[in-house]
Amino acid sequence: MTKRTDCFVCGKEGLSRNEVGLNKKILNRDIVKFHCLDCLSEYLDISLEDLLKRIQEFKEAGYQLFD
């Protein structure tokens, strides 16, 4: 059974593998509280578009945290 991950800031339910992976890659691999993309964008003061580009770059680089 897979554990559901929610955004601890806004409460968005069921974060995607990419959202969880980006949190781990950017913030810390061992974190247990996650941001949704919108909250992570605000927290890091980075545009949502830039975060989506980073996800794509990580996917293309073969990082297994992303699908």
Chain CA centroid to CA 32, Å: 12
Domain ranges of the chain: 17-60
Asked if 22 and 37 touch (Cβ cutoff 8 Å), the reply is yes
The pLDDT profile of the chain, 67 residues, written as one tens digit per residue, is 457 899 999 999 999 999 999 999 999 999 999 999 999 999 999 999 999 999 999 999 999 888 8
Give the count of alpha carbons within 13 A of 13, CB side only.
0
Query: Which residue has 């800031």 as its token pair?
Result: 9
Considering only CA atoms, which of 9, 41, 1, 42 is closest in space to residue 22?
Answer: 41
Can you point out the beta strands (E) in the chain? none
